[in-house]
A and B are shown apart, each in its own frame.
Chain A
Amino acid sequence: MKFISRKTQIFNTFKGIFIIMANFSLNINGKNHEVDVDPSTPMLWVLRDHLQFVGTKYGCGIAQCGACTVHLGDNAVRSCQLPVSAVGEQKITTIEGLSENGDHPVQKAWLEIDVPQCGYCQAGQIMTASALLKNNPNPTDAEIESAMNGNICRCGTYTRIKKAVKLAAQGDS
């Protein structure tokens, strides 16, 4: 064997006993969820693989695209960079929990402007936009651009996203 990392050696030593699995109790979309996973597991994969909240998407895994954006408390975070062990008591909101009937002002504005094309980035865009408006209900154009700049849309729906964020802000105020 050529390359063996320290981690692998630990596993080999313990012959498949999952010593580093741990139980986490998470508050997601207002409900309690239990998972038994490696503490380093990013919330992205806890949500998608273990809890079937598949509205949160994988795009890059390195905090460059924003497809995996969720709310941690009131802030937008990249769930691919958030290990499950770092969440603790903090509340997580995913696109599934943003509103009960899909009628959050940002979601309504998205429908009104008909923003999406393929749709894959849109859950992340909406989560970033809704966190922005929560913390800053009347953002300037430059503030919208800055807040949204980490969310890539490969289909190029950016001009519509900006329009929809502004519309949602008006609806809010």
Chain B
Amino acid sequence: MVVHPPAFGLQLKSFDADSIKKMPGIVDVFQIKTLKEGMTRGYFDTNAFTDLVAIVGQSTWQVMNAKKQLTVEWQPVEKSSHKVDRFGTEIEVEVPDGLESTEAHYEQMNGMLSKTATVARKDGQPESAFKTAAKTIERSYSCPFLAHNCMEPMNFFAHVTDDEVLLAGPVQAPSLVEATLASRLDLPLEKINIELTRMGGGFGRRAYGHYAIEAALISKQAKAPVKLVYSREDDMTFGIYRPSYMASYKAALDEENNLVAFQVKAGGVPETPLFANRFPAGAVANYQAEQWEINSNITIGAFRAPRSNFMAGAEQSFLDEVAEAAGKDPIDFRLELLEKVKSNPVGENNDYDPERLAGVLKLVREKSNWANSDPGVHRGVSAYFCHNSYAAHVLDMVMEDGQPKVTKVVCAIDCGIVINPDAAANMAEGAIIDGIGNAMYGELTFVDGKPQQQNFDSYRIIRHKEVPDSIEVHFVQNEIDPTGLGEPPFPPVFGALANAMYKATGRRHYRQPFITDKPPLVG
């Protein structure tokens, strides 16, 4: 096992190997440095904790016990920077010092709402359109950091000898591990062999193969085959999270309730989630998209549908409110806008195909029997484009003992040709449950750099009782080449859930996770 700092902003100062060396089963205790000093890091070499203590022993339980007894001292990191190869372009990444907290992050993010940000797209004259509008609506949305929490904690087997490196384990991007390890060990690529095992979940987390490198370095030093195992706590506190984001929206309606101006301003710790050219870009004559970022020493990484997993919920909740203000049915309202993009698009860089986005909305409207929900059932709708596919959900909710409960989700997806329909449906069902779980309960918070949730007793994962009884998945039949499916059904869940919760509770939810968000009653 490895021992990493208990908080972001701390690093290893010293440790006393003798404090545990004589414990039963303990073979060796030493330091490893995952990355070479000054090296240009690969894009997936993200790592806040490159300086670790390794404990090698005969069995997992013995090492777990020894780990608890290890005497180790930590010290604050200093401001630093390193080079990263961002798909062919070398960039310099600044890492701040300090111990960060969730409360401070939210204060900083709230502060950004009133500041000018970088304009990523502008169509028409948004400023004057807002001034002359009959009605304007302004809202902001936010979400916390999330840990991937793959069911199988990070782990890897390694056997490193003088002339060969054999690795085996679960990793999403073996070729990236190979490249980093070759440079770390000064070995040619051909000397490194990686065998892949099934992954107990990836969700993006296993694109970051630092744990495979750690296993190799431990094996090299211990001169023995080793299996590196992360405890759940190690896994949850090592970093590489879904970032915390915030987005503010503004919409203007004219006298006839047409959407005449739209503004989105989005940012986060430490990256912006903005997609400037996605819906409703292209549907509004006066449009502006802006972005900002707040730097952090908490590491982030790809998490099922990066950035979309926040933007979809924010945008689709906001459009629901705008449709309501315009006195229109939420599906009709979206379809009207999509019709405009099709017949007379604003701008040239719209990322999505309006016809296919409208297609999933129409299909979900039909399959869910949208206009006729049962009494006591509250419905929310949402549709989103990402990873080259289109997904729309209608989510049904009831109030049970004063608590909202999702009973049914009907989903329509256009991802081109579906090759394995049953596995595809299973993937979409899982994405929907994952979306409900993370929107409702998912949250990783920090106090003085330290993750406050470290295992499943404090990090709430959706369970059997909270899952809808029925999920229906419908695929648009066409002959288009297949596109993404792991990600696309995930992001729109957040919006459909928020919109159904509004109907069920009379409250608009703006801050995830919704379970702890207590917004006022609307109207």
**In the complex, chain A residues whose CB is within 8 Å of the CB of B468:** 159
B69 lies within 8 A of A64 (CB)? no
Chain A, residues 118-134, CB within 8 Å of chain B (1/0): the string is: 11110000000000000
B457 at the interface (CB under 8 A from A): yes
A32 at the interface (CB under 8 A from B): no
How far, in Å, is B211 (CB) from chain A's closest CB? 15
**In the complex, chain A residues whose CB is within 8 Å of the CB of B366:** none
How far, in Å, is A17 (CB) from chain B's closest CB? 9
Q: What is the CA–CA distance of A114 and B464 in the complex, to the nearest angstrom?
A: 17
A119 lies within 8 A of B59 (CB)? no
Residue of B427, B431, B464 touching A151 (CB-CB under 8 A) = B464
A57 with B152, Cβ < 8 A, contacts A117-B426, A118-B200, A145-B464 known: yes
Name the residue on B nearest A2 (C-beta): B71
A154 lies within 8 A of B22 (CB)? no
A155 at the interface (CB under 8 A from B): yes
Q: What is the CA–CA distance of A62 and B16 in the complex, to the nearest angstrom?
A: 28
A156 lies within 8 A of B18 (CB)? no
Q: What is the CA–CA distance of A108 and B151 in the complex, to the nearest angstrom?
A: 23
| A1-30 CB contacts (< 8 Å) to partner B | 1-5, 7-8, 11-12, 15-16, 18, 20-21
Name the residue on B nearest A120 (C-beta): B200
Stretch at the interface among A44-52, A69-77, A97-105: A44-52
B429 lies within 8 A of A118 (CB)? no
B465 lies within 8 A of A8 (CB)? no
Name the residue on A nearest B456 (C-beta): A64
A8 lies within 8 A of B23 (CB)? yes
A48 with B60, Cβ < 8 A, contacts A8-B20, A62-B456 known: yes
Assign chain A's interface to a size class.
35 or more
A149 with B151, Cβ < 8 A, contacts A3-B71, A156-B434 known: no
Q: What is the CA–CA distance of A60 and B152 in the complex, to the nearest angstrom?
A: 9
B151 lies within 8 A of A153 (CB)? yes
**In the complex, chain A residues whose CB is within 8 Å of the CB of B60:** 45, 48-49, 58
A33 at the interface (CB under 8 A from B): no
B430 lies within 8 A of A155 (CB)? yes
A61 at the interface (CB under 8 A from B): yes
| B458-477 CB contacts (< 8 Å) to partner A | 461-465, 467-471
A152 with B426, Cβ < 8 A, contacts A4-B19, A21-B24, A145-B465 known: no
How far, in Å, is B98 (CB) from chain A's closest CB? 26
A91 at the interface (CB under 8 A from B): no
Chain B, residues 278-295, CB within 8 Å of chain A (1/0): the string is: 000000000000000000
How far, in Å, is B116 (CB) from chain A's closest CB? 41
Name the residue on A nearest B66 (C-beta): A8
Q: What is the CA–CA distance of A20 and B61 in the complex, to the nearest angstrom?
A: 14
A137 at the interface (CB under 8 A from B): no
Q: List residues of chain A with CB under 8 Å of any chain B CB.
A: 1-5, 7-8, 11-12, 15-16, 18, 20-21, 37-38, 40-42, 45, 48-50, 57-62, 64-65, 67, 114, 117-121, 141, 144-146, 148-162
Q: Give me 13 A-to-B residue pairs in the complex whose CB atoms sit less than 8 angstroms apart, sorted by A's number.
A: A8-B20, A16-B22, A18-B24, A21-B24, A59-B152, A59-B232, A67-B151, A118-B151, A118-B200, A119-B200, A120-B151, A120-B152, A155-B430
**A-B pairs, 10 with minimum CB distance:** A120-B200, A156-B433, A156-B430, A64-B456, A120-B151, A158-B467, A45-B61, A154-B151, A148-B464, A49-B59
Known: A149-B463, A154-B434, A159-B468. 19 other contacts (CB 8 A): A1-B19, A2-B16, A3-B69, A3-B71, A5-B69, A7-B65, A37-B61, A38-B24, A38-B61, A50-B59, A64-B456, A65-B151, A65-B456, A118-B198, A120-B200, A149-B465, A155-B434, A156-B430, A159-B470
Q: List residues of chain B with CB under 8 Å of any chain A CB.
A: 16, 18-20, 22-24, 59-62, 64-65, 68-69, 71, 149-153, 198-203, 229, 231-232, 422-423, 426-427, 429-434, 437, 455-457, 461-465, 467-471
